[in-house]
Structure 1
């Protein structure tokens, strides 16, 4: 009898010799799910006829590192390789691991609705979208879409075909475009999240303030939808702008884009005049707030290289979808520098737009809702983002491509709020239905598990206890600090102590 049959004592084995007979007797054994790999290895190791047994480990290609000159400064793509991030935390979007799977597709188009973009930039020109149905130099509207000579898109601000006007006017859009899709591994400057992609430029912002009208934003979105309907594989819009009031017309246009199979990625916004980020669940900011009601909208907050929410970044548990790098982001610029770092949620949004481009290059059948759900469910939870945004974490290109939720971490408390009747704590690693809140080592009663704070890895970012006034007064004496911990009985893990007090 074959050794696998006797040793493993299960049906359905298959044996494949891995060595020549004169080189030993190493076999690859396949068996049915009745026996786990771990059980099979242990059983085989106990058999005296078996010299050794081990799993058939899965191997992965080494992380893909591009040769672009400024890649070492691009902490948002790979913090461990960054000269500036210092690998203080992961903080990046796991781009190098994602590039082992795909670097994008030259068939996929991302529309940059922004200021203009200098698509003649040496790191952008190979990835510039060219309208295949238009002769750009004949003064005619060849494709009959109402726009004459629209080679790379359209300038709705100046009402002409020239999507690039000047370095001062179009710096913002050029920088955004580079983060999405600067050519990768070409030995020049920076790299985009998607090395292979086509960039459509739709200018509606301009002037000294970089502003534009809602009407022109709607025209730009409608242009994208029309191109999609004409056969252009445009699947993503990046909208690194906001600040307007709620517009039904704009919302309808974004919804129409979703119905056409287009994902709308937008900046969460940079707060008010004070320079501090706002909770846009309370102080609305559009179009970011549409992410709460439209399933093709992904609004993006900004983090720094330490995985902290940027001080200027808006947030909102119901209105901001996910976070991405947005501080000191190197990308293409249209002036003599050619490359420069800029900060803002405008820089965070194109990181996610680039991830979406990779996802749709790898799996074109995904719907906008599926894309959004995958990005949320595979985000890496962080303490700084716990309960502050939908995902409570940072977008991961690798996790999104492999549809792999983040690992469940140990419980950590980041914030606590005590009222007369209840205790609310935020953090990561809380287990739905089983986590216990402890006050100075004593379990508190009445723990509530709110599924609206559920994360893709099966954990929660918020726990509440409503034991009533009497218990709150007893366990939280006024003005006295106590130590809170969260204990997960199923794993035996307990959070570090978190000191708080009721005043």
Structure 2
């Protein structure tokens, strides 16, 4: 297991560092020592589909395409990216969770109701989120002080829901290490619990 916190001064450097990090993971997962080991990636991060003020739209799209290309290569290497969809509410979403190759994760509370902040995307080709996880009032690490003491408390967000789904994916891979990324994705969706949330049905990840 590898964990990383990407801290950056600007959206541009964050985009660059995420792509570099994904490339590094791709090299590790496809190395001879790890090629036959099951793998899943959790990405509790995102960049808005509408762009950011300090990056020209053409450059922003180019950097997102680079990120999408790495994700596609990871899937081809049987690594499933499980990604938070974003916290900007219905009709708004983030990348890479909005890419078709990513398993985009929305957030529900412990009653199975979709959180009002949970993002979504609806288009003729792509509907997101693909699946939901628990992301309201999740006991989480908050920060660490200069004395190296950790502090914890409840947090809300699709960044809380995505690792919930990634953990379930890891359990499936422990049981069936030879699953391809496509088969793992299909298993998560097939075994999800379908619940009513207002006027719609949502699928909450579960291990069965």
**TM-score for both structures, normalised by structure 1:** 0.34
**Ranges in structure 1 where 5+ consecutive residues have no aligned partner:** 1-198, 272-276, 399-503
Matched residue, 1:34: none
Matched, 1:239 2:56: no
- Conserved 8 A contact 2:44-2:84: yes
Q: Please say if 1:204 is aligned against 2:12.
A: no
Which whole-Å deviations, capped at 9, do the CAs of 1:366-410 have from their partners, x for residues lacking one? 11111111111111111117657xxx2211122xxxxxxxxxxxx
1:395 has 2:198 as partner: no
Asked whether the 8 Å contact 2:40–2:166 carries over to 1, the reply is: yes
Match of 1:362 in 2: 175
- Return the offset for 1:202: 3.3
Conserved 8 A contact 1:205-1:211: no
Find out whether 1:288 has 2:107 as its counterpart.
no
- The residue aligned with 2:25 is 224
Aligned equivalent of 2:52: none
C-alpha displacement of 1:326? 0.3
Q: 2:90 matched to which residue of 1?
A: 278
1:434-449 alignment runs, 5 A limit: none
Distance 1:265 1:345 in 2: 11
2 CA distance for matches of 1:255 and 1:211?
A: 21
Match of 2:76 in 1: 259
1:300 aligns with 2:105: yes
With over 3 angstroms needed to count, the CA separation of the structure-2 counterparts of 1:340 and 1:266, relative to structure 1, is: same
RMSD between aligned residues: 2.3
User: Which has the greater radius of gyration?
Assistant: 1
Distance 1:320 1:314 in 2: 8
1:381 aligns with 2:194: yes
- In structure 1, C-alpha distance between the alignment counterparts of 2:198 and 2:121, rounded to whole Å: 10
Residues 38 and 173 of structure 2 are in contact (CA less than 8 Å); yes or no, is this contact kept in structure 1?
Answer: no
Name the CA distance, whole Å, in 1 between partners of 2:207 and 2:19: 29
User: How many residues in Structure 1 have an aligned counterpart in Structure 2?
Assistant: 184
What is residue 140 of structure 2 aligned with on the other side? 331
**Aligned to 2:166, which of 328, 334, 353?**
353
Contact 1:380 1:396 in 2 (8 A): yes
Distance 1:387 1:205, change over 3 A: farther
Q: CA deviation at 1:261?
A: 1.2
Query: Going by fraction, where is helix more abundant, 1 or 2?
Result: 2
Distance 2:66 2:39 in 1: 21
SS at match of 2:83: strand
Secondary structure of the structure 2 residue equivalent to 1:355: helix
Residues 450-465 of structure 1 mapped to structure 2, 5 A cutoff:
none
Greater relative contact order, per chain length (Cα 8 Å cut-off, separation 6+): 2
Secondary structure of 2:98 counterpart: helix
2:75 match: secondary structure:
helix
Q: Secondary structure at the match of 1:202?
A: coil
- Quote the offset at 1:242 in angstroms: 1.1
Cα separation, partners in 2 of 1:370 and 1:385, compared to 1, 3 Å:
farther
Q: Distance in 2 between matches of 1:212 and 1:338?
A: 28
Contact preservation (8 Å) 2:78, 2:182: no
Structure 2: gaps spanning 5 or more residues: 50-60
Q: Please report the TM-score for the alignment, with normalisation by the length of structure 2.
A: 0.79
Structure 1 contact 301–348 (Cα < 8 Å) conserved = yes
> Contact conserved, 2:8 with 2:14, CA < 8 A, in 1?
no
Report the secondary structure of 2:2's partner residue.
Answer: strand
Alignment of 1:37-436 (within 5 A): 199-206=1-8, 212-230=13-31, 231-232=33-34, 233=37, 235-245=39-49, 246=61, 247-271=64-88, 277-280=89-92, 285-291=94-100, 294=101, 297-316=102-121, 318-335=127-144, 336-384=149-197, 387=200, 392-398=202-208
Q: Is the 8 A contact 1:240 1:347 kept in 2?
A: yes
Q: Which consecutive segments of 4 or more residues in structure 1 shift more than 6 A?
A: none
